[in-house]
Structure 1
């Protein structure tokens, strides 16, 4: 059973909806401990003075902001606490916007909001209204002494809340040196037409279940084999020479031909079962088509 990590209320206008916050994503990355290669004992990380090599007790550690090399401004805990935003326990909605207006680059961590006691009716009303209008609520909330910019949206029968980065945290793509100048490099109509055909040939509804973390699965499988006493052989990867960049039109045509060939190969497999009949079976007992 999931446990709430925060409780508070959604506030907009004169409406207040008590809610509980739950994590919407669970990391499944394989984590390793650092061990001594000789006796496989855990490695301890110690706080050490870089100049003296002396281990420093936690109570003696202070926060410092580096202005220049070896020059710091020391900030005391009380000074930071005086700047903490007021903990209102309220998700204050500032505006409702269209989902398409939000660039996904602004999204950070995902959560679910569930109604707290007494909030079921207004919670349901807000979820239904946001789903019907296609609007997303932009709000602010203080979580763990940090003010967060968040987006609230309807996700089926549940309200999802995603923390967002502030605008000044997004890197301006104009600062990237490698981006080609659109005035200097332009796509021809023929290139655009072929690229569009390739995109359309690969178009498909998004099905999250189709995708798996195969690297994690391989790591876990290897761990299980080694835990069972199996010796795992390691082959060094072969580094080949970097191939020259192919001709763009030739690459587009080859990709499009491969995509079409894949579609043609799948078509008979999908149609074949519908044509077969079970031996000595009545007409109604045809094998259904594979979906």
Structure 2
């Protein structure tokens, strides 16, 4: 963020609302809210005593099938590379996981925090994904508005929905998808940096949505999907 008149950087100040004054970082402590306007203060020494022991490796606890891990648990992914001393162990683990189609669950400490991780064979490398702990994932029981029981759909409606899935099914090819907003933003930045004048397009007004005819929408989607599939076949011919 910049200050518009002189384009200088904005700095955020630490401000005490109670005393209405700026305060130094030495007067800031960490607190955990246990009730309305009620906090338990935790000192840096207390936090240090709880910090997990730093290690140079990953502690593997068990092996599971990848399909048994709900994707909702995945957080961030990394590729692991061995050092000279662990090249053989790395290659053995990679080959064993590839042959068994198993995923290793383990724990690793990064940035003073212990993470639950899943290791899997990814080509010629081992991929490590950090996982959320169960209490960090919202359970379905906590969500409101989900349909309860069987949906009231006719066999024809279900068949149409299945046709749509079949018409749009294909292999996962991530290169087909682009972050269009980021591309447009970077193009705008490049053009402004080169001195071009940018004209902002008027925003579309939101209109009240009308009730959707499910069958008509499915039929239109299936027709569009089939047309799209035909275009791909022509291009590849």
> Is the counterpart of residue 208 in structure 1 residue 174 in structure 2?
yes
Give the match's secondary structure for 2:121: strand
* SS of residue paired to 1:90: coil
CA deviation map 1:80-114 (0-9, x unaligned)? 11112222333111110001000111011111111
The Cα shift of 1:39 comes to: 1.3
Residue ranges of structure 2 left out of the alignment (5+ in a row): none
Superposition deviation, residue 242 in structure 1: 2.2
Q: Distance in 2 between matches of 1:138 and 1:253?
A: 44
Q: How far apart, in 1, do the equivalents of 2:30 and 2:78 lie?
A: 30
2:187 aligned residue: 221
Partner of 1:10: none
Query: What is the DSSP-based 3-state SS (H/G/I as helix, E as strand, rest coil) of the residue aligned with 1:73?
Result: strand
**Gap change, CA 1:267 and 1:98, over 3 Å in 2:** closer
TM-score if structure 1 supplies the norm length? Answer: 0.77
Matched with 2:36 is: 69
Give unpaired runs (5+ residues) of structure 1.
1-33, 272-291
Q: Which residue of 2 aligns with 1:89?
A: 56
Alignment map for 1:122-271 (pairs within 5 Å): 122-183=89-150, 185-271=151-237
Match of 1:50 in 2: 17
Counterparts of 2:138 and 2:113, CA distance in 1: 22
Shift of 1:269: 4.8
CA shift, 1:224, in A, is 1.2
Task: Pick one of 89, 93, 105 that aligns with 2:72.
Answer: 105
Displacement, 1:268?
4.3
1:148, distance to aligned residue in structure 2 (A): 0.9
Q: Does 1:120 align with 2:91?
A: no
Describe the superposition over 1:133-176 as per-residue Cα deviations: whole angstroms up to 9, x where unpaired: 11000001222221110000011010011110001111012222
3-state SS of paired residue (1:66): strand
TM-score (norm 2): 0.93
Worse-matched range after superposition: 254-263 or 123-132: 254-263
**Rg (Cα) greater in structure:** 1
Cα RMSD of the aligned pairs, angstroms, is 1.6
